[in-house]
Chains A and B, each alone.
Chain A
Amino acid sequence: MKSTEQAETEIRTVLRDHGRLAQDIATLAPGADLYQAGMTSHASVNVMLALEGKFDVEFPDRMLKRSVFASIDAIRSALAELGAIAEAADAQVAQA
């Protein structure tokens, strides 16, 4: 299981390699809309596959939704839900 920090770095790497974003991934805010940043439907599928490979998960059908891949934060929450990330309790409090 990866830590939150490690996960965010890896999510950004996946987005850099597969998201085909118009903006520099390093400066993208965690809550920023990825579709608005240039991610197409086609790219979002590749992002999904790459995330599954990197985090060794499979997104169930109920999680194949636009909102799940809409931002770095959303992706991180989804991965946490699937048990791929150890989200620290204080990190969750800070987000609320």
Chain B
Amino acid sequence: MMGLTATRAQPGAVPIVFQAGGGPCFGWFHAGDAPARGIGVVMCRPLGYEGLCAYQTYTQLAETLAAAGFDVVRFDYHGTGDSAGSDSDPGRVRAWTDSVRAAIDEVRRYGGVSRIALFGVRLGATLAAHAASEIGGVESLVMWAPCATGRSLVRELRAANASRTSTLHDDIAPGDVEALGFLFTQETVKDLEALDCRTLSPSPAQRVLIIGRDDVPIEGPLPEKYRAMGMNTEYAVLPGYASMMVEPHEVVLEQSTLDFIKDWLVAAPQPQAVAPAPAKIETVYPAGYELEGVRETPITFGTTHALFGVLAEPAQLPDNNRHCDTAILMLNVGGNYRIGPNRIHVKIARSMAAAGYRAFRLDLTGIGDSHAGAAFCMNNLYAKDSSADVRAAIDCLAAKGCKNFYLMGICSGSYVAFQTALVEPRVAGQILMNSRLLEWRDDRAGESWQASMQIGYKSTDFYLRALLRPDVYRRLLLGEINVNGIAKRFKTIIEARLERAMNRLLGRSAEQEDEGVLGKMRKLSARGTDTLVISAAEDDGRDYLEFHLGRRGNRMKGSPNFRMLLVDDCDHTFSSEQSQQFVINAMLEHLRRRAAVQSIPPEPASPAFA
């Protein structure tokens, strides 16, 4: 399925960094094409998983508006995206609202404009309305599927929290809610529940467009309320919400709705008196920003500088710090942009940088802020072009003095890491997490990569262990378990194993094995490339890995350059704080061990180190 537009507007956005919520916040400024309208639009994101899904829509809308003459800022609230801070910091709702206010100042400065419009989806709309009411003077407000009250959002978060798999141990504090990979502390929940768009005073804007969801159409209280408050209010149910909020790799942009929004903003009546606009300031490409002992720098790279990433490194680089020769490149997971699902790449990168390494979270072609070539679609992730992007990133980091390159990827990211390692001798190591597919065989060319991913199934080990639990038998008796589906999985794996054993007996397999995952892994190991495989014990990718590499990787046992770790109580994208911390600790420990092994001078005729 085509997820992203085939052609993109010429790159016109520049990164900006500004202070809000107590730290640096990251965003993008899109200068309006001539003739300029003198209106600045600030785009306020939804939170967490919704923010990840909607990223592409926000970028496309920003470009649509800029092409129509609006100056646009899209940004990450403090504690989200590439901005400083985290969801466990105190005062989140205040920090998010202050981030909106600061972003409004930014668009005024860089656009040289005094007229302001705000756009938000879901909680982004809620925060936009509250910020607008606080500062006054906002002309137009677009609210797409707004959370009319914080309370309505909190109950959805509670429902999402409750539906987490029961095998995950709850390591969150009582009163906290973890929903869709985002932590809402008890304080944040309380502050969210206090948000209420219905009772804002003064009114947030002169005119408001409320767009209803096309999947679960609920008009809600706002259209009527806002009319009663004297705002020029329009309500419309437009297509595009459902297709915006699916998994990032399945997003389909509804350009007709983006155009509707643009036209509605264009139709704003010229005010009788316009406040004087500030002097326009030219944007300067940010040199980087510091947070918590780490320095982060936005970087464009590649021959046409169409690719983008953020480099995290120690804020102070002491002369004796050898670690910063090592760069860990973090590759996209599916269509998720560089921050990773659950913002995990940001968390890992900052931990690595704090420990002295360099960590580069990047967007491959067509994802996030890297520009698309013609006709990009998700299957391109499995094309050779992805390796070219990674090599370009290595070139960029090598020019900055890095010598040791590790590629880190979760799921499809691990596919790109593995395939790049095979063709790029500069790759010193790879960290492959929850892999479900590491090679694309010609005989499977017709199969879309999504079909290779099991939905809702777990590893066979999980099912075998489940048989030891009495509650499972009760559910079996009640017919609650899809026994046929699970049996089919076991059958598939057993058949694959039998086929392989038969091939071996008949002497057919040698060439296949050399070229298969095991053969390639052995070649990498012999080349000196280090491999760390991390798999959630329950992840169905574990069956794929163990089919090729043996139970717990035992077919690679002889190799000094291979390790496989299993993580308990962990899902496919490491949603829980606990599993994320496990991964960070495992990576740091692994790199320390490798550095220690490599610093010991080899003795003559000594065996390889474990």
A45 at the interface (CB under 8 A from B): yes
Could you tell me if A49 and B218 are in contact, using CB atoms closer than 8 angstroms?
Answer: yes
* CA gap between A69 and B480 in the complex, in Å: 13
* CA gap between A44 and B180 in the complex, in Å: 11
B163 at the interface (CB under 8 A from A): yes
A86 at the interface (CB under 8 A from B): no
Contacts of B166 in A (CB 8 A): 66
* CA gap between A69 and B164 in the complex, in Å: 12
* CA gap between A33 and B22 in the complex, in Å: 45
Q: State which of B156, B246, B457, B485 has its C-beta within 8 Å of the C-beta of A49.
A: B156
Contacts of B482 in A (CB 8 A): 23, 32-33, 36-37
* CA gap between A11 and B475 in the complex, in Å: 21
* CA gap between A90 and B457 in the complex, in Å: 36
* CA gap between A35 and B481 in the complex, in Å: 10
A46 at the interface (CB under 8 A from B): yes
B49 at the interface (CB under 8 A from A): yes
Cβ-closest chain B residue relative to A22: B455
Could you tell me if B162 and A64 are in contact, using CB atoms closer than 8 angstroms?
Answer: yes
- Cβ proximity bits B472-488 to A, threshold 8 Å, 1 near / 0 not: 00010011111001000
Contacts of B156 in A (CB 8 A): 45, 48-49
Could you tell me if A41 and B180 are in contact, using CB atoms closer than 8 angstroms?
Answer: yes
Could you tell me if B155 and A17 are in contact, using CB atoms closer than 8 angstroms?
Answer: no
Could you tell me if A45 and B160 are in contact, using CB atoms closer than 8 angstroms?
Answer: yes
Could you tell me if A65 and B162 are in contact, using CB atoms closer than 8 angstroms?
Answer: yes
Contacts of B179 in A (CB 8 A): 41
Interface size on B, residues (CB 8 A): 29
Q: State which of A37, A41, A59, A69 has its C-beta within 8 Å of the C-beta of B456.
A: A37
Could you tell me if A46 and B480 are in contact, using CB atoms closer than 8 angstroms?
Answer: no
Q: State which of A36, A44, A49 has its C-beta within 8 Å of the C-beta of B163.
A: A44
Max chain A Cβ within 10 angstroms of own Cβ: one of B155, B180, B215: B155
Cβ-closest chain B residue relative to A69: B163
* CA gap between A64 and B246 in the complex, in Å: 22
Q: State which of A32, A48, A50, A64 has its C-beta within 8 Å of the C-beta of B480.
A: A32
Q: State which of B159, B180, B485 has its C-beta within 8 Å of the C-beta of A64.
A: B159
Give residues of chain B (124-166) contacting chain A, Cβ–Cβ below 8 Å.
Answer: 155-156, 158-160, 162-166
A82 at the interface (CB under 8 A from B): no
Q: State which of B49, B160, B480 has its C-beta within 8 Å of the C-beta of A33.
A: B480
Contacts of B478 in A (CB 8 A): 31
Could you tell me if B456 and A31 are in contact, using CB atoms closer than 8 angstroms?
Answer: no
Give residues of chain A (33-67) contacting chain B, Cβ–Cβ below 8 Å.
Answer: 33, 35-39, 41-42, 44-46, 48-50, 53, 59, 61, 64-66
Chain A proximity of B465: nearest CB distance (Å): 16
A29 at the interface (CB under 8 A from B): yes
Could you tell me if B218 and A46 are in contact, using CB atoms closer than 8 angstroms?
Answer: no
Max chain A Cβ within 10 angstroms of own Cβ: one of B49, B218, B480, B482: B480
B216 at the interface (CB under 8 A from A): yes
- Cβ proximity bits B458-500 to A, threshold 8 Å, 1 near / 0 not: 0000000000000000010011111001000000000000000
Contacts of B155 in A (CB 8 A): 61, 64
Contacts of A69 in B (CB 8 A): 159, 163
Q: State which of B49, B164, B456 has its C-beta within 8 Å of the C-beta of A66.
A: B164
Could you tell me if A48 and B455 are in contact, using CB atoms closer than 8 angstroms?
Answer: no
Could you tell me if B455 and A38 are in contact, using CB atoms closer than 8 angstroms?
Answer: yes
* CA gap between A44 and B521 in the complex, in Å: 39
Could you tell me if A31 and B216 are in contact, using CB atoms closer than 8 angstroms?
Answer: no
A76 at the interface (CB under 8 A from B): no
Contacts of A53 in B (CB 8 A): 216-218
Contacts of B163 in A (CB 8 A): 35, 41, 44-45, 66, 69
Could you tell me if A18 and B215 are in contact, using CB atoms closer than 8 angstroms?
Answer: yes
Could you tell me if B158 and A61 are in contact, using CB atoms closer than 8 angstroms?
Answer: yes
Could you tell me if A64 and B216 are in contact, using CB atoms closer than 8 angstroms?
Answer: no
Contacts of B485 in A (CB 8 A): 23, 36
Could you tell me if B456 and A70 are in contact, using CB atoms closer than 8 angstroms?
Answer: no
Could you tell me if A48 and B159 are in contact, using CB atoms closer than 8 angstroms?
Answer: yes
Could you tell me if A42 and B160 are in contact, using CB atoms closer than 8 angstroms?
Answer: yes
Known: A31-B480, A36-B456. A17 touches B159 (CB 8 A): no
Contacts of A32 in B (CB 8 A): 479-482
* CA gap between A53 and B164 in the complex, in Å: 23
* CA gap between A75 and B1 in the complex, in Å: 32
Chain A proximity of B214: nearest CB distance (Å): 11
Chain A proximity of B20: nearest CB distance (Å): 28
Could you tell me if A42 and B455 are in contact, using CB atoms closer than 8 angstroms?
Answer: no
Could you tell me if A41 and B481 are in contact, using CB atoms closer than 8 angstroms?
Answer: no
Contacts of A42 in B (CB 8 A): 49, 160, 180, 245
Give residues of chain B (197-244) contacting chain A, Cβ–Cβ below 8 Å.
Answer: 215-218
Contacts of A59 in B (CB 8 A): 159
Contacts of A70 in B (CB 8 A): 480
Known: A31-B479, A31-B480, A36-B482. A45 touches B455 (CB 8 A): no
Chain A proximity of B153: nearest CB distance (Å): 10
Chain A proximity of B44: nearest CB distance (Å): 20
* CA gap between A64 and B157 in the complex, in Å: 10
Q: State which of B160, B479, B481 has its C-beta within 8 Å of the C-beta of A36.
A: B481
Max chain B Cβ within 10 angstroms of own Cβ: one of A29, A42, A48, A61: A42
* CA gap between A39 and B164 in the complex, in Å: 11
* CA gap between A42 and B159 in the complex, in Å: 9
* CA gap between A16 and B482 in the complex, in Å: 18
* CA gap between A32 and B246 in the complex, in Å: 24
Known: A44-B159, A45-B159, A48-B159. A38 touches B480 (CB 8 A): no
Cβ-closest chain B residue relative to A65: B162
* CA gap between A17 and B608 in the complex, in Å: 57
Which 6 interchain pairs have the tightest Cβ spacing? A22-B455, A38-B455, A38-B456, A31-B479, A64-B159, A44-B163
With A17-B215, A23-B485, A36-B481 known, 10 other A-B pairs at CB within 8 A are: A18-B216, A31-B480, A36-B482, A41-B180, A42-B160, A45-B160, A48-B159, A49-B216, A50-B216, A53-B216
Chain A interfacial positions (CB closer than 8 Å to B): 17-18, 20, 22-23, 29, 31-33, 35-39, 41-42, 44-46, 48-50, 53, 59, 61, 64-66, 69-71
12 inter-chain pairs at a CB distance below 8 angstroms, sorted by A residue, are A35-B456, A36-B457, A36-B482, A38-B456, A41-B160, A41-B179, A41-B180, A42-B160, A49-B216, A53-B216, A66-B166, A69-B159
